[in-house]
A and B are shown apart, each in its own frame.
Chain A
């Protein structure tokens, strides 16, 4: 697939008046002319919820292999998606981008609130989030436990939404 640069239509706004950030698969107003112009399937259209906030990244390392994320794979990463308990996220650790699974320690699985983060702006209510969060890998290494917010706290770069794996 081509990069999700502003060349492919995203599915709709996640910001702006009336935006619904938590409805990732919502279809925009259907344009009959688009199908006419494009003909076949467009992976940008299928995999990219919002082209302004979606980036591709290349994976280096095998610590997330059990989650289906292998060395050399490409991740579709959406910065505007709110990370939740169990999300596969790209986080900033020691000045480096790292892919890990997010655990909201104090949160009930499935009912997690967004993670507050002063850096990404994710999560609207900073008081509602858990005090600490964990970034887990699949390789048995000890999870990295961080404050949920604050200067030394969790910094989510984006949420991985798809993994492209060459067979």
Chain B
């Protein structure tokens, strides 16, 4: 039996992280808000049931919040980043390989018979619940596209006792066929609305119809990417093992190495390159990040050292490649076990927000070079224009900038700040 792969992701990740430390939020409608408490970025099932949509501005919900019992939380990137790193490290122990795909999901290679692999999926789900108090869904299939589909099935059928958060396409071929004939192509990983409309004009509306299409014809009418999707739906794994993508919540750059890397110095170099590539991607998007997560893994299961992951908060929201690279290198050094032959590593940037803050414009002053005669220059400017006319970053501004992030409903940084530890009553 060839190897299967699983897509594991955390249900309502941000909300689930908040609930893990505040059991009082269980059973209540909860939303997590974007930067500056702007709009809804995550919803508990209860909030979804109330009809709250992702992207809804908070000011529209605030008037009804009291009557609905709706609870809002500001984004707590420190908490989500740390919990994400824990999830990824734990999941990495289960896979023959691991590919982190976003802050709350990763692909894992699973070896064994179909029954064994489903059993592993169930134990993975139990382990994440037990270690971290987070609910996950597991989709198992021979290809990434099908694993995404299987995960979607698991997630959307919470009440199905035969699924219980784990769905394998090999285990339920008839159910898969029925679903594919019913669901629209836009439910497939990577098929967007516009591709869906174009497919529709060609008479391809359901997943089953896309799966039955001629791959070569699809390539000629669309792209090699959609051709791969067709092949993957048919069970041929061909989405390349390269991960460089950007979503609304994160930018990722990760790669497998051509040969194992086992020294700290070499891993420094890897982090240098990857962090700068991720930072460049961030800059192209016009965004800045608040958290850096680094991951590394071995190619096969090898005990506790098989996977490492660490999330660190950046000193401020930034797109500065120097700051991001330094943080990534330092974070990796702190978790790396020298001598372990790592075969894959990645850098993920999260807590994204639009760039262009006042802080950023002064980034040039922040370099390490001691010989810029900065103080002298600053003094002369101050002498001429006043004490608060110039300074390093925030220090120079006469008024608190409007860029100071609003986090009115912030939960404590339970896992990353000693002053913020969760309180247990005795």
Q: Given A55-B415, A120-B129, does the pair A31, B93 have CB atoms closer than 8 Å?
A: no
Among B129, B304, B311, the one with the most A-chain Cβ atoms within 10 Å of its Cβ is B304
Check A79 against B131 for contact (C-beta < 8 Å).
yes
Query: Chain A 21-35, CB within 8 Å of chain B: the 1/0 string?
Result: 000000011011110
**Would you give the shortest CB distance from A158 to chain B, in whole angstroms?**
9
Closest to A120 in B: B130
Check B123 against A7 for contact (C-beta < 8 Å).
no
User: Which residues 63-79 of A have a CB within 8 angstroms of B?
Assistant: 63-65, 69, 71, 74-75, 77, 79
Check A15 against B127 for contact (C-beta < 8 Å).
yes
**Would you give the shortest CB distance from B340 to chain A, in whole angstroms?**
8
Complex CA gap A92/B425 in Å reads 10
Closest to B95 in A: A16
Check A58 against B426 for contact (C-beta < 8 Å).
no
Q: Given A15-B90, A15-B93, does the pair A121, B421 have CB atoms closer than 8 Å?
A: no
**Would you give the shortest CB distance from A105 to chain B, in whole angstroms?**
22
User: Which residues 2-42 of A have a CB within 8 angstroms of B?
Assistant: 2-3, 5-7, 9-19, 28-29, 31-34, 36-37
Q: Given A6-B335, A14-B131, does the pair A58, B422 have CB atoms closer than 8 Å?
A: yes
Q: Given A34-B338, A50-B131, does the pair A97, B86 have CB atoms closer than 8 Å?
A: no
Query: Chain A 78-103, CB within 8 Å of chain B: the 1/0 string?
Result: 01100000000010100111110000
Query: Chain B 414-426, CB within 8 Å of chain A: the 1/0 string?
Result: 1111100111111
Task: Say which size band chain A's interface belongs to.
Answer: 35 or more
Complex CA gap A64/B123 in Å reads 34
Check A92 against B422 for contact (C-beta < 8 Å).
no
Check B421 against A80 for contact (C-beta < 8 Å).
no
Tell me if A's interface is mostly helix, strand, loop or mixed: loop
Selected from A29, A36, A121, A137, the residue in CB contact (under 8 A) with B305 is A29
Complex CA gap A58/B129 in Å reads 22
The answer to whether B24 has its CB under 8 Å from any CB of chain A is: yes
The answer to whether A145 has its CB under 8 Å from any CB of chain B is: no
Query: Chain B 61-90, CB within 8 Å of chain A: the 1/0 string?
Result: 000000000000000000000100111011
Check B129 against A59 for contact (C-beta < 8 Å).
no
**Would you give the shortest CB distance from A148 to chain B, in whole angstroms?**
17
Q: Which residues of A contact B133 (CB under 8 A)?
A: 79, 120, 157
Check A90 against B338 for contact (C-beta < 8 Å).
no
Task: Say which size band chain B's interface belongs to.
Answer: 35 or more
Check B130 against A53 for contact (C-beta < 8 Å).
yes
Q: Which residues of A contact B82 (CB under 8 A)?
A: 5-6
Selected from B87, B301, B335, B422, the residue in CB contact (under 8 A) with A7 is B335
Selected from A64, A98, A122, A137, the residue in CB contact (under 8 A) with B130 is A122
The answer to whether B272 has its CB under 8 Å from any CB of chain A is: no
Check B93 against A121 for contact (C-beta < 8 Å).
no
Check B338 against A37 for contact (C-beta < 8 Å).
yes
Complex CA gap A58/B425 in Å reads 8
The answer to whether B315 has its CB under 8 Å from any CB of chain A is: no
Q: Which residues of B contact A60 (CB under 8 A)?
A: 423-426
Complex CA gap A77/B421 in Å reads 12
**Would you give the shortest CB distance from B288 to chain A, in whole angstroms?**
23
Closest to B131 in A: A53
Selected from A15, A32, A59, the residue in CB contact (under 8 A) with B131 is A15
User: Which residues 296-316 of B have a CB within 8 angstroms of A?
Assistant: 301, 303-305, 308-311
Query: Chain B 221-256, CB within 8 Å of chain A: the 1/0 string?
Result: 000000000000000000000000000000000000
Q: List 27 A-B contacts (CB under 8 A).
A: A3-B415, A6-B308, A6-B335, A7-B334, A7-B335, A12-B303, A13-B304, A16-B127, A18-B303, A29-B304, A31-B340, A33-B337, A37-B264, A50-B131, A52-B87, A53-B90, A56-B418, A60-B423, A79-B130, A79-B131, A79-B132, A97-B23, A98-B425, A99-B424, A121-B126, A121-B129, A155-B23
- Chain B residues close to A by CB (< 8 Å): 23-24, 26, 82, 85-87, 89-90, 93-94, 120, 123-124, 126-127, 129-133, 264, 301, 303-305, 308-311, 331, 334-335, 337-340, 414-418, 421-426
